[in-house]
Structure 1
């Protein structure tokens, strides 16, 4: 399926763009934030998701290009993503009349989602988040990169020498990567280290308690980026318990990291639609109650 929509520049200074498909007149939109190496059309479920959002909810799907998209992640930070997302949400509020945004974070986009609703200036417009494929870069790198320990020590040494913003040797990653970013992804307690199975519950709770809006987590039973040594069920349970605003966790038993199979895509889209419907009902009820109280005070 080909997505038809509008490509817009949301930040003229950096020439960063967004792509909106579906009912663009809606004041509610779903913002998809991809992971490392992702750009537009990053995952196979986006066409089906776009269709479900349009038909079931009458809302649009927005994909965003950040400086960290594609191979740019190696020289970016999560906070830089937050600043660029702030520019996007300012554009959506002021130029596109968007009043309710739901974020779907895929993979490292989940870190962006958590970071944004913790530090973003426009976080009040975000009414809910979906974390899909939230996995530990650190655990994946430590189990799959042959010289993981050597590279981590190199990154630490460069940072200690005041060279954290310098690029590491070419062999470290497929993209040019600074010592700061590699450390963030690969080190215990790095800025990107949010979903590792060995993070103490207290630390996880401290992270998730900053999220004030509802969220759901969607996990893939055959996620190839989770090492076999990790107890997936235990990890999923711990992540959900650590979040005070989590409305549930959905496990797609046959899905891989990007949800390639169609049956899992259908289940995922249904879960997203039902989550948004539930949150919107609660928001409408709250707004009606506030309006009623205001009217009573005005009498």
Structure 2
């Protein structure tokens, strides 16, 4: 287990609960006194604070009276394999309602949702249908002012480019289970390690549960099969398919897509700039914005790329004024 020697700048703020039932789930917020909020949704295997540009983003947001809000979801770390985008979206809705209705420092200004990687699918899923306030507070919809997708990549594109024969067999197994109405059936994990080896009391901890998690047939197919619930950003979509995937969300809020020049989760055969242009052309006339982040990998580790990404977020915020 490696030590985090090159840790990013610390984030400071407040920790609280955004729901206590059916399970308690926490959130972390910088500068909660600000009237505007940006809710950040991480990707698969991620959780609070693991995306490296967040400290720089928090500083940029602070300068324009926005707080950065991070939530813990049931699907964080290794939970994604038995979860769904709709489940994520419902927990995000609970967080946003809490931010807008809490007694102290409620969100009285703008609220933006920003997703990283699979968090982008969460953003699109959340915005693709009306999300109602809870029964206790009436029937009004939860209003969101904008959505940002950083690293909106296709799991299916990656799977089709790099899948092993075992992966292909797993997908076929999932298709069979789904055709037999068994979406919750788990894929075989008999070869997974049930506990880590110990060397002087140290080792890899429970990382195996995150890096090699349990999968339902539904979620494995959702991520990797054509027309799965996660299939929003595939490079082989026609213009009509792009509109079908994105317009339900875009009709409810403006969107910005941030794509990294060196995103390692996009197959090398995909022309990233061309794909951005195809999205822009298919969604022309809409409140849709794109930015190509030079030198950026999937998580934007490069500090110059982080600066460009954060400035792009700032420009998007300014379009909402």
Normalising by structure 1, we get a TM-score of 0.89
The residue aligned with 1:153 is 172
CA distance in 2, matches of 1:124, 1:272: 22
CA shift at 1:157, angstroms?
0.7
The residue aligned with 2:162 is 144
Post-superposition CA distance 1:95-143 (Å, at most 9, x none): 1421421111111111100111112415642101111000000111222
CA shift at 1:207, angstroms?
2.2
The residue aligned with 2:65 is 58
The residue aligned with 2:92 is 85
CA distance in 2, matches of 1:252, 1:208: 21
Where does 1:197-276 land on structure 2 (aligned, <5 Å)? 197-210=235-248, 211-212=250-251, 213-243=253-283, 244-276=285-317
CA distance in 2, matches of 1:5, 1:241: 40
Q: Spell out structure 1 runs of 4+ moving beyond 4 A.
A: none
The residue aligned with 1:20 is 29
CA distance in 1, matches of 2:18, 2:130: 16
CA distance in 1, matches of 2:259, 2:33: 32
Post-superposition CA distance 1:193-245 (Å, at most 9, x none): 00010112101112222122111111001000001122222211122233353
Post-superposition CA distance 1:154-195 (Å, at most 9, x none): 001111222210110126971111000000001001000000
CA distance in 1, matches of 2:232, 2:278: 12
CA distance in 2, matches of 1:92, 1:230: 39
Moved more, 25-34 or 241-250: 241-250
- On the 8 A contact 1:82/1:120 being kept in 2, the answer is no
Structure 1 unmatched ranges of 5 or more? 281-299
CA distance in 2, matches of 1:80, 1:41: 21
The residue aligned with 2:198 is none
Which structure shows the higher helix fraction? 1
CA distance in 2, matches of 1:70, 1:239: 30
- SS in structure 2 of the partner of residue 134 of structure 1: coil
- On the 8 A contact 1:101/1:128 being kept in 2, the answer is yes
- On the 8 A contact 2:280/2:290 being kept in 1, the answer is yes
In the alignment, structure 1 residue 71 sits paired with structure 2 residue 78: yes
- SS in structure 2 of the partner of residue 125 of structure 1: coil
CA shift at 1:247, angstroms?
3.9
Where does 1:32-43 land on structure 2 (aligned, <5 Å)? 32-43=40-51
In the alignment, structure 1 residue 117 sits paired with structure 2 residue 145: no
- On the 8 A contact 2:273/2:292 being kept in 1, the answer is no
**Cα root mean square deviation, aligned:** 1.6
CA distance in 2, matches of 1:230, 1:278: 30
- Count residues with an aligned counterpart: 278
